[in-house]
Structure 1
Amino acid sequence: MKHSAQGAAGTGTAAGRVRADAAAEAVRIPLQPGVADVARDRVRGAGEPDGAARGEHTHSEPPAPGPSVSGASAPRPRALVQRSSVRGQILDALRAALVTGELRPGEVYSAPVLGERFGVSATPVREAMQQLALEGAVEVVPNRGFRVVERGDRELAELAEVRALIEAPVWLRLARTVPAERWAELRPLAEATVRAASSGCPATYAEADRAFHRAVLALTGNEQLVRIAGDVHRRAQWPPAGSPSVRGRADLVADAHEHTALLDALIAGDPDVVRALVGEHFRGAP
């Protein structure tokens, strides 16, 4: 885990800070942000130093993540959000951009440039990037911004192994203790992963996949297990350097159908089939 610290210049006058807070409160960003749903309404008069003043270069860097080619052209409804929620929505959008490869491994991105692309000030972008640094997705480059970490096939294989060690035994234990009606309640989440996989969007599937696995692990009542397994799962979904995504649409669909097959076996109470499907599912992780 890498800890980050971002240098900054002065924060300006008190009046400038008041204007910055007011502008940030009024920023409009999508209700359901993602790679295809970035903020468009520029924040005017925010009173925050630009990238040069903060020691961040704002030129000669790759384009910030923009609308996905798979997204709809019509704009989605927008709603005013409070300043406290801007960081979270930007974080969600950046996580999606990591999964799709729009934030490219090895490239450096500055908070001011990303802020311009999302239509917000640099502050919530910088805060979101610092969270990603804590998660190991990016690393701080002094006076420049944040570099997306390059990961190879070996690291992804290690993460898949860790996921299998954590989750597979839990699934098998739950198969012996959870009644069929509880498993049936997870059917909508499993079917959601199939629809998400059919869309062909890695970010859409990644979110649905995590939601299904999180719901299964939540049956244990162990919050720490859910949190740790979720963190490993998210890391396993980041693509390796030089690849737009870990798997193509066909692989995503096959993985999603394993969810529904597992539920069928769990509801039927067939331990041999459950054991075989769990082994197969986690061999193909993430």
Structure 2
Amino acid sequence: MTVSRSTPAGKPTVRLKAVSLREQAREAVRTQIVLGQIEPGEVRSVISVAEELGVSITPVREAVNDLANHGMVEVMRNRGFRVPVLTEHDLDEIFLIRTLLEAPAMTDVVRVLDGAPVPQFRQLAEEIAAAAREGDLVTYLDKDRQFHLGLLELLGNGRLVTMVAQLRDQARMQGLQKLADQGELTESGEEHITLVEAIEAGEGELAAELMRKHLAHSRGIWAGRAEPAS
């Protein structure tokens, strides 16, 4: 909500926006977890995280409870929280389910758009590719999340979006900085641009196949190793 105040002369002063500290804390901790900045199995106290973020304990505690409901952390009574350790099998399951959901959904996205241009997704795709080239992992992750979930939101199926969002949150990136430094993220980043081109061309089956290959490629990346896109 935007709040506007005026001086006695009627001139507006600074416009203030009410921002949820709980939401900010949740996104900050989520990013740290997915990027592997909080080690799996490591016990973190809410107090220490609150100090790092420069906020009170309450919004951090609420944020941790939100993330626990999504399966990202385990709350440890009187100790804090812990990030569950993921196995290769866990990652296989996550990406298999994502593929089953997201690949066929691209055919429906193409049908719904019916050839309409999607400049917002082209911009996101270009920003993802640029972040990959620059090794900017925070931007890469943020834009990638907006891209994938945004395409699914076009279908008007809130449950589908929620399920994929939770699956993304349950995955972890391992050794991603090393891959970024070696330029191994560039190809995956540019795959988003190719997908947008297929969507705008009305190629539903191609878009589904590109998403399938992209997720197969991403499976290796999220495990910290480079894999061929094909």
TM-score between both structures, scaled by the size of structure 1 = 0.64
State the identity %: 35
Q: What is the RMSD of the two structures over their aligned residues, measured on CA atoms? A: 2.5
Contact 2:72 2:169 in 1 (8 A): no
Q: 2:176 — aligned with what?
A: 245
- 1:1-286 alignment runs, 5 A limit: 85-236=20-171, 238-239=172-173, 243-245=174-176, 248-249=179-180, 250-271=183-204, 273-285=206-218
Give the drift of 1:138.
1.4
Q: 2:12 — aligned with what?
A: none
Q: Distance in 2 between matches of 1:244 and 1:204?
A: 17
Contact 1:163 1:285 in 2 (8 A): no
Q: Distance in 2 between matches of 1:149 and 1:167?
A: 25
**Which letter does structure 2 place at the counterpart of 1:216?**
L
Contact 2:179 2:185 in 1 (8 A): yes
Deviations 1:180-231 (A, max 9, x none): 2234452112112112222323332121111111221122122222222222
C-alpha change, 1:272 and 1:102, in structure 2 (3 Å) is closer
C-alpha change, 1:276 and 1:224, in structure 2 (3 Å) is closer
Contact 1:99 1:245 in 2 (8 A): no
Q: 2:10 — aligned with what?
A: none
More helix, by proportion: 2
Q: How many residues align?
A: 203
Contact 2:103 2:212 in 1 (8 A): yes
Shifted more, 256-265 versus 192-201: the winner is: 192-201
Per chain length, whose mean CA-contact separation is higher, i.e. which structure has more relative contact order (CA < 8 Å, sep 6+)? 2
C-alpha change, 1:253 and 1:177, in structure 2 (3 Å) is same
C-alpha change, 1:247 and 1:161, in structure 2 (3 Å) is farther
SS at match of 1:120: coil
Unpaired segments of 5 or more residues in structure 1? 1-78
Whose radius of gyration is greater, 1 or 2? 1
Give the drift of 1:171.
0.5
TM-score between both structures, scaled by the size of structure 2 = 0.78
Moved over 6 A (4+): none
